[in-house]
Structure 1
Protein backbone atom coordinates (compact mmCIF):
# COMPACT_ATOMS: atom_id res chain seq x y z
CA UNK A 1 0.00 0.00 0.00
CA UNK A 2 2.81 2.39 0.90
CA UNK A 3 4.58 1.63 -2.39
CA UNK A 4 1.39 2.42 -4.31
CA UNK A 5 1.03 5.79 -2.57
CA UNK A 6 4.66 6.68 -3.28
CA UNK A 7 4.21 5.74 -6.94
CA UNK A 8 1.08 7.91 -7.21
CA UNK A 9 2.87 10.91 -5.69
CA UNK A 10 5.85 10.45 -7.99
CA UNK A 11 3.65 10.47 -11.09
CA UNK A 12 1.47 13.42 -9.98
CA UNK A 13 1.57 16.32 -12.43
CA UNK A 14 2.80 19.76 -11.54
CA UNK A 15 -0.39 21.75 -12.26
CA UNK A 16 -0.37 25.57 -12.11
CA UNK A 17 -2.99 28.31 -12.27
CA UNK A 18 -2.58 31.72 -13.89
CA UNK A 19 -5.03 34.65 -13.77
CA UNK A 20 -5.62 36.97 -16.74
CA UNK A 21 -7.76 40.01 -17.36
CA UNK A 22 -8.95 40.71 -20.90
CA UNK A 23 -9.32 43.58 -23.32
CA UNK A 24 -12.08 43.99 -24.37
CA UNK A 25 -13.61 43.29 -21.01
CA UNK A 26 -16.13 40.54 -20.37
CA UNK A 27 -19.62 41.99 -19.90
CA UNK A 28 -21.95 39.02 -19.69
CA UNK A 29 -22.34 35.24 -19.79
CA UNK A 30 -21.90 35.34 -23.59
CA UNK A 31 -18.51 37.02 -23.18
CA UNK A 32 -17.48 34.40 -20.63
CA UNK A 33 -18.66 31.61 -22.96
CA UNK A 34 -16.66 33.09 -25.86
CA UNK A 35 -13.47 33.00 -23.77
CA UNK A 36 -14.10 29.48 -22.47
CA UNK A 37 -15.13 28.04 -25.84
CA UNK A 38 -12.09 29.45 -27.60
CA UNK A 39 -9.59 28.34 -24.95
CA UNK A 40 -10.93 24.89 -24.10
CA UNK A 41 -8.91 23.05 -26.76
CA UNK A 42 -5.60 24.81 -26.11
CA UNK A 43 -2.98 22.18 -25.33
CA UNK A 44 -2.27 21.77 -21.61
CA UNK A 45 -5.34 23.55 -20.23
CA UNK A 46 -7.07 21.56 -17.51
CA UNK A 47 -9.73 24.03 -16.34
CA UNK A 48 -11.01 27.50 -17.24
CA UNK A 49 -13.02 29.69 -14.88
CA UNK A 50 -14.26 33.14 -15.80
CA UNK A 51 -15.76 35.92 -13.72
CA UNK A 52 -17.20 38.93 -15.55
CA UNK A 53 -17.82 40.74 -12.27
CA UNK A 54 -14.13 40.73 -11.28
CA UNK A 55 -12.92 40.71 -14.92
CA UNK A 56 -10.69 37.66 -14.38
CA UNK A 57 -10.00 34.44 -16.26
CA UNK A 58 -8.49 31.61 -14.18
CA UNK A 59 -6.64 28.99 -16.20
CA UNK A 60 -5.35 25.79 -14.61
CA UNK A 61 -2.75 24.17 -16.86
CA UNK A 62 0.02 21.62 -17.15
CA UNK A 63 3.33 23.53 -17.45
CA UNK A 64 4.88 20.54 -19.21
CA UNK A 65 2.52 21.14 -22.13
CA UNK A 66 2.23 24.94 -22.29
CA UNK A 67 3.49 28.18 -20.75
CA UNK A 68 1.87 31.33 -19.41
CA UNK A 69 3.14 33.19 -22.48
CA UNK A 70 1.55 30.67 -24.87
CA UNK A 71 -1.73 30.88 -22.97
CA UNK A 72 -1.62 34.67 -23.12
CA UNK A 73 -1.00 34.60 -26.88
CA UNK A 74 -3.92 32.21 -27.43
CA UNK A 75 -6.39 35.01 -26.55
CA UNK A 76 -5.38 36.95 -29.69
CA UNK A 77 -6.78 34.19 -31.92
CA UNK A 78 -10.31 35.25 -31.00
CA UNK A 79 -9.85 39.01 -30.76
CA UNK A 80 -8.88 39.49 -27.12
CA UNK A 81 -5.75 40.73 -25.43
CA UNK A 82 -4.86 39.10 -22.11
CA UNK A 83 -2.77 40.53 -19.31
CA UNK A 84 -1.56 38.55 -16.32
CA UNK A 85 -2.99 39.75 -13.01
CA UNK A 86 -3.42 38.60 -9.41
CA UNK A 87 -6.30 37.41 -7.27
CA UNK A 88 -6.26 40.64 -5.22
CA UNK A 89 -6.03 43.07 -8.14
CA UNK A 90 -9.01 45.37 -8.57
CA UNK A 91 -9.80 45.68 -12.27
CA UNK A 92 -11.82 48.78 -13.19
CA UNK A 93 -14.92 47.98 -15.21
CA UNK A 94 -15.37 50.05 -18.37
CA UNK A 95 -19.03 50.93 -18.10
CA UNK A 96 -19.34 52.52 -21.56
CA UNK A 97 -18.03 49.57 -23.59
CA UNK A 98 -20.59 47.70 -25.63
CA UNK A 99 -20.84 43.94 -25.73
CA UNK A 100 -20.34 42.37 -29.16
CA UNK A 101 -21.19 38.86 -27.95
CA UNK A 102 -24.95 39.10 -27.76
Structure 2
Protein backbone atom coordinates (compact mmCIF):
# COMPACT_ATOMS: atom_id res chain seq x y z
CA UNK A 1 0.00 0.00 0.00
CA UNK A 2 2.13 2.89 -1.26
CA UNK A 3 0.01 5.62 0.31
CA UNK A 4 0.41 4.03 3.74
CA UNK A 5 4.14 3.79 3.15
CA UNK A 6 4.26 7.45 2.12
CA UNK A 7 2.45 8.67 5.19
CA UNK A 8 4.14 6.35 7.64
CA UNK A 9 7.46 7.53 6.21
CA UNK A 10 6.25 11.08 6.64
CA UNK A 11 5.36 10.30 10.22
CA UNK A 12 8.98 9.33 10.68
CA UNK A 13 10.17 12.68 9.37
CA UNK A 14 10.29 15.81 11.43
CA UNK A 15 12.13 18.72 12.85
CA UNK A 16 15.19 18.73 14.99
CA UNK A 17 15.25 19.26 18.73
CA UNK A 18 15.80 23.00 18.80
CA UNK A 19 13.93 23.46 22.06
CA UNK A 20 10.76 24.77 20.45
CA UNK A 21 12.22 27.64 18.42
CA UNK A 22 9.93 28.81 15.67
CA UNK A 23 6.72 28.15 17.54
CA UNK A 24 3.44 27.91 15.73
CA UNK A 25 2.03 24.62 14.54
CA UNK A 26 0.81 24.58 10.93
CA UNK A 27 -2.98 24.52 10.60
CA UNK A 28 -5.01 21.45 9.67
CA UNK A 29 -5.68 23.15 6.32
CA UNK A 30 -1.94 23.64 5.68
CA UNK A 31 -1.24 20.00 6.51
CA UNK A 32 -4.14 18.82 4.35
CA UNK A 33 -2.89 20.92 1.44
CA UNK A 34 0.53 19.26 1.63
CA UNK A 35 -1.04 15.81 1.85
CA UNK A 36 -3.13 16.51 -1.25
CA UNK A 37 -0.06 17.82 -3.10
CA UNK A 38 2.12 14.88 -2.05
CA UNK A 39 -0.38 12.11 -2.68
CA UNK A 40 -1.94 13.29 -5.92
CA UNK A 41 -5.13 11.32 -6.44
CA UNK A 42 -4.13 8.46 -4.12
CA UNK A 43 -6.24 9.70 -1.19
CA UNK A 44 -9.77 11.02 -1.01
CA UNK A 45 -10.68 14.39 0.46
CA UNK A 46 -12.02 12.64 3.59
CA UNK A 47 -8.81 10.64 3.95
CA UNK A 48 -6.59 13.71 3.59
CA UNK A 49 -8.69 15.57 6.15
CA UNK A 50 -8.39 12.64 8.57
CA UNK A 51 -4.63 12.42 8.01
CA UNK A 52 -4.21 16.18 8.53
CA UNK A 53 -6.19 16.14 11.78
CA UNK A 54 -4.17 13.14 12.97
CA UNK A 55 -0.88 14.95 12.36
CA UNK A 56 -2.20 18.18 13.88
CA UNK A 57 -3.43 16.46 17.05
CA UNK A 58 -0.35 14.24 17.38
CA UNK A 59 2.47 14.57 19.87
CA UNK A 60 4.86 15.55 17.07
CA UNK A 61 6.58 18.85 17.75
CA UNK A 62 5.51 21.97 15.87
CA UNK A 63 8.85 21.82 14.07
CA UNK A 64 8.20 18.26 12.87
CA UNK A 65 4.75 19.17 11.57
CA UNK A 66 6.16 22.31 9.93
CA UNK A 67 8.83 20.22 8.17
CA UNK A 68 6.08 17.97 6.80
CA UNK A 69 4.15 20.97 5.48
CA UNK A 70 7.16 22.78 4.02
CA UNK A 71 8.88 19.76 2.42
CA UNK A 72 9.14 19.85 -1.35
CA UNK A 73 9.22 16.04 -1.36
CA UNK A 74 7.92 14.39 1.82
CA UNK A 75 9.43 11.07 0.70
CA UNK A 76 12.87 12.59 1.29
CA UNK A 77 12.21 13.35 4.96
CA UNK A 78 14.45 11.08 6.99
CA UNK A 79 14.08 9.65 10.51
CA UNK A 80 17.45 11.26 11.26
CA UNK A 81 15.69 14.63 10.93
CA UNK A 82 13.80 13.87 14.15
CA UNK A 83 14.39 14.60 17.79
CA UNK A 84 14.12 11.54 20.05
CA UNK A 85 10.70 12.75 21.26
CA UNK A 86 9.45 13.08 17.66
CA UNK A 87 10.76 9.61 16.83
CA UNK A 88 8.64 8.21 19.66
CA UNK A 89 5.63 10.31 18.67
CA UNK A 90 5.92 9.17 15.05
CA UNK A 91 5.70 5.53 16.08
CA UNK A 92 2.36 6.30 17.76
CA UNK A 93 1.00 7.67 14.47
CA UNK A 94 1.18 4.50 12.39
CA UNK A 95 -2.13 2.92 13.44
CA UNK A 96 -4.16 6.17 13.35
CA UNK A 97 -2.78 7.00 9.89
CA UNK A 98 -3.61 3.53 8.57
CA UNK A 99 -7.12 3.92 10.02
CA UNK A 100 -7.51 7.17 8.04
CA UNK A 101 -6.59 5.36 4.84
CA UNK A 102 -8.85 2.36 5.42
CA UNK A 103 -12.06 2.66 3.37
CA UNK A 104 -15.20 3.13 5.45
CA UNK A 105 -17.61 0.24 5.36
Q: TM-score, with normalisation over the residues of structure 2?
A: 0.30
Higher helix fraction (1 or 2): 2
Higher relative contact order (CA 8 A, sep 6+): 2
The structure whose Rg is larger is: 1
Q: TM-score, with normalisation over the residues of structure 1?
A: 0.31
